[in-house]
Amino acid sequence: MARLNILITAASRRVALVRGFQRALLRPNTTGEVIVTDVNPLSPAVHIADRAYRVPFSNEPGYLDEIRFICESQGIGLVVPTIDDEVPLFAAHRAEFEAAGIRVAVPSRRTAEVCVDKYATSRRLRMAGVAVAETWLPARLPDDLTYPLFIKPRDGRGGVQAFAVRTPEELKFFLGYVHNPVVQRFLDGPEFTLDVLCDFDGRPLSVVPRERVVIRSGVIDRGRTLNDPALISLGLTCARVFSFAGAVNIQCRVVQGVPTVFEINPRFAGGIPLTLAAGADFPGMLVDLALNRPVPPAIGAFKSELWMSSFETSVFLDQPAESLPMCPRLATAEVA
């Protein structure tokens, strides 16, 4: 029986992801626990996971020390970061975790740094000949701009401070309003997320295109899977341009028949429940990779035209704890 304990950081609302890994650990000849970290005891994933711990925010001193201690004390074999802010941090220290026998589902440091920077992402893809939204820094805007445009933070996430720009007056306003902005050509066409999974050597194992039919707060609310050769080819091409590891979501629009990238996030997407329901078992493949089992590519192996219509659900708690249990290292330090 192979055992693997998994740590999902910043678990928050990622209940489907936690359950996906729990199911993967229930397969024959496999066992283990899914442990999560969070800062809020009312986060739903905290109450779905096998165990949960409070740690500092990822930008606070000592964060990685607490993660390392959890990994050591809880026998973690796989770490799955879930938010953009953490990916470059874990990527920079991935070799240290791997030296301790712990796999971390993040890409190389260089890839993580480029993907967090939307201007650098655009330049990298354009140099590789990949269709990508034209992207400019405020100081380098061309004189012959045509509208509409799109503006967002260069290092933003979740659709925060992202706006369509329809006039020169709006552009002037948003350049002063949006923090550290980039300006992109507005892409008019159906929007897709390509869920891609790569092994720890960068080999793509699965590509699942999802059309984002209705979007709410930056996350797919209604959508469908689509087994489209051009979209799958785009996912595979991006995997050749970058050195991915683990899950990545590539966002694009189909403009006049051409899938055109506008953003890449090297982490699980919020809409991953649809990909899992379509039969692309990303958690199971990651578990097998962490256990050094062979995982053959399964490109195109998912149910096409599977629709998802999401709704809110809740976890009900009797007298929830006022706080999460501290990381074992912090608890030991306070007792001492």
The single residue listed with the structure tokens 């249990």 is: 325
DSSP secondary structure letters along 190-230: -EEEEEEEE-TTS-EEEEEEEEEEEEETTEEEEEEE---HH
> How many structural domains does the chain have?
2
DSSP 8-state symbol, 43: -
Full residue range of the structural domain in which residue 323 is found: 2-115+189-331
In the predicted model, is pLDDT for residue 333 greater than 70?
A: no
Predicted pLDDT of residue 336:
41
Digit-coded pLDDT (tens) for 254-288: 999 999 999 999 999 999 999 999 999 999 999 99
Q: Looking at the predicted structure, is the pLDDT value of residue 323 above 70?
A: no
Going by pLDDT thresholds of 50, 70 and 90, the confidence category of residue 224 is: very high
pLDDT at 55 over 80: yes
| Residue 134 maps to a domain | no
Give the orientation angle of helix 118-127 with respect to helix 109-116, to 10 degrees: 110
Core vs surface per residue 4-17: b (16+ CB within 10 A) or e: bbbbbbbbbebbbb
pLDDT for position 125: 98
Question: Residues 105, 206: one domain?
Answer: yes
Q: Tell me the pLDDT tens digit for each residue of 119-169.
A: 999 999 999 999 999 999 999 999 999 999 999 999 977 678 999 999 999
Of 38, 39, 45, which is closest to residue 17 (Cα–Cα)? 45
Phi, psi (deg, nearest 5) at residue 160: -75, 130
50 shares its domain with 173:
no
Any domain includes 121: no
Tell me, yes or no, whether 69 lies in a domain: yes
Q: Are residues 181 and 198 in the same domain?
A: no
In a domain, 132, yes or no: no
Same domain for 163 and 102, yes or no, is: no
Asked whether residue 291 falls in the same domain as residue 176, the answer is: no
Shared domain for 155 and 93, answered yes or no, is no
Question: Does 46 share its domain with 58?
Answer: yes
Among the listed residues 263, 297, 259, 292, the one whose alpha carbon sits nearest the alpha carbon of residue 280: 297
Q: Is residue 23 part of a domain?
A: yes
- If asked whether residues 266 and 221 sit together in one domain, one would say yes
Closest CA to 185 of 209, 161, 155, 164: 164
Same domain, 57 and 17: yes
Average pLDDT over residues 107-126: 96
CA neighbor of 315 nearest in space, from 48, 97, 33? 48
Q: In terms of pLDDT, which residue wins out, 53 or 336?
A: 53
Strands of the 5-8 sheet, one edge to the other? 51-54, 34-38, 5-8, 76-80, 103-104
CA 311/CA 152 separation, integer angstroms: 27
What is the rounded average pLDDT of the residues 39-64? 93
Torsion of CA 232, 280, 308, 52, to 10 degrees: -130
CATH number at residue 51: 3.30.470.20
Residues 201 and 164 grouped into a single domain: no
pLDDT at 122: 97
Asked if residue 130 lies in contact with residue 241, where contact means CB atoms within 8 angstroms, the answer is: yes
Tell me the C-alpha distance between 287 and 124, whole Å: 31
Token pair of 37, please? 């970290």
Looking at the structure, tell me whether residues 33 and 46 fall in a common domain.
Answer: yes
The pLDDT mean for the chain works out to 94
Q: Distance (Å, rounded) from C-alpha 21 to C-alpha 32? A: 10
pLDDT given at position 65: 95
Confidence of residue 329 (pLDDT cuts 50, 70, 90): low
Beta bridge partners of 260: 253
pLDDT digits over 166-195, tens only? 999 999 999 999 999 999 999 999 999 999
Q: Is the pLDDT of residue 313 over 50?
A: yes
- Domain membership flag for residue 28: yes
Residue 271, in any domain of the structure:
yes
Do 85 and 175 reside in the same domain of the chain?
A: no
Domain membership of residue 125 (yes or no) is: no
